[in-house]
Structure 1
């Protein structure tokens, strides 16, 4: 890997191994995986169920620890960082979008966006509200900012989830089957939204998907099989 590439990558992983289970049930889920994510680019990881896609995403998002290998986010090595350092880096640099939106139903669209900003704690109440409205406008939902999450359609809820992932201006958005619970029209809309925001705002997007059409529409498509990336 060139020095220039190391200096520009948002997220980098080398020789990642992950085992699950114990004894005879122990499974080698990830087998020396490595990748490098650049800003303003959309990456997809495609492959059959059980190949390790989501496991890798959770490791890269610092929600779990690998058994071997190294991960860097924004130039900082996370493999040996403390839990406190990893939490701080995750809150600052990583946004998540999941298959199910996980919005809090008792809160409005804007309030759901304010929650991660409040957790990071670098904006006052007025600034958080303004940021929430700005992001909802980006995803075409500014007029529904005060509507409860339960009063939004499935596609609208997932667009709010995308906006929430952007709340703290993360370096990278990790999306685990972000369109898996949507129909074709809304799937296309959410994917197009992620791609547009990545290209316009400079964030990298890494998306796990079972949808081969969406995978191919990413800037880079990585294919995984049996815990390893494979060439096609």
Structure 2
């Protein structure tokens, strides 16, 4: 990517992010003033030892938790503190998630699982949602299995459904927490390649938390975290 970064290139940013966990003597300073800029079309990996703050950072950026200090902006808009309604709206409009566990609803088909974020956002008609979900499932190679339930799909196929679901609202930011952690080597590489290819095609900023050094090395940027801060 060019060294000249414009505001349009930046999908998400955080400045001076702090987070504490626990109470009293057990209170721990997990994030200690983290600065981060996520750029469209760029795939970044966050690596570091367990307990260094990687997943905490991901949950804050995903607006699933509230920071104790600092500012997050997404899509050029500062995220207001302690306003659940605003967080829900920004999350639905801008952020997609892929987790280690796919969290597909077992009673729904692949198509219906991909439609869920679209239903929550409420901007498309039923036919538009079905068309969009079908298109995404074809993109991830599951066009012939849109009617199958998760129990009828392999682990790799279930994670590909989760990727399609994460893309359903055309988010500008994709956050992935150990997205290949439950897959074998072949499926891990396939899912990673699919995730990064689609993200670049859609010009999304992707942040992946991983303990897999092979996957991290294939990202555009590696961010190493130790004791609540990024280090050189």
Shift of 1:81: 6.3
Shift of 1:152: 0.2
Local SS of the residue matching 1:144? coil
1: distance between equivalents of 2:153 and 2:8? 41
Alignment of 1:150-161 (within 5 A): 150-161=151-162
Alignment of 1:176-187 (within 5 A): 176-187=177-188
Local SS of the residue matching 1:142? coil
| Cα 1:45/1:25, change in 2 over 3 Å | same
* Cα deviation code 1:107-165 (max 9, x no counterpart): 11000011111111111111111001100011000100001111000000000000000
Query: Which residue does 1:194 correspond to in 2?
Result: 195
2: distance between equivalents of 1:81 and 1:138? 37
2: distance between equivalents of 1:78 and 1:202? 22
* Cα deviation code 1:40-85 (max 9, x no counterpart): 1111101111110000000000000110100000011014362111
| Cα 1:200/1:83, change in 2 over 3 Å | same
Alignment of 1:55-204 (within 5 A): 55-80=56-81, 82-204=83-205
Q: Work out whether residues 18 and 30 of structure 2, in 8 Å CA contact, stay in contact via their aligned partners in 1.
A: yes
Query: Which residue does 1:17 correspond to in 2?
Result: 18
| Cα 1:168/1:159, change in 2 over 3 Å | same
What is the RMSD computed on CA atoms of the aligned residues? 1.4
Q: Work out whether residues 46 and 222 of structure 1, in 8 Å CA contact, stay in contact via their aligned partners in 2.
A: yes
Unaligned runs of 5+ in 2: none
Q: Work out whether residues 98 and 176 of structure 2, in 8 Å CA contact, stay in contact via their aligned partners in 1.
A: yes
Shift of 1:199: 1.3
Q: Work out whether residues 65 and 79 of structure 1, in 8 Å CA contact, stay in contact via their aligned partners in 2.
A: no
Local SS of the residue matching 2:144? helix
Local SS of the residue matching 2:170? coil
Q: Work out whether residues 66 and 81 of structure 2, in 8 Å CA contact, stay in contact via their aligned partners in 1.
A: no
Name the TM-score, length of structure 2 as normaliser: 0.96
Query: Which residue does 2:220 correspond to in 1?
Result: 219
2: distance between equivalents of 1:7 and 1:163? 25
Shift of 1:5: 3.9
Shift of 1:4: 5.1
* Cα deviation code 1:197-232 (max 9, x no counterpart): 11111111110001011011101110101111011x
1: distance between equivalents of 2:7 and 2:79? 15
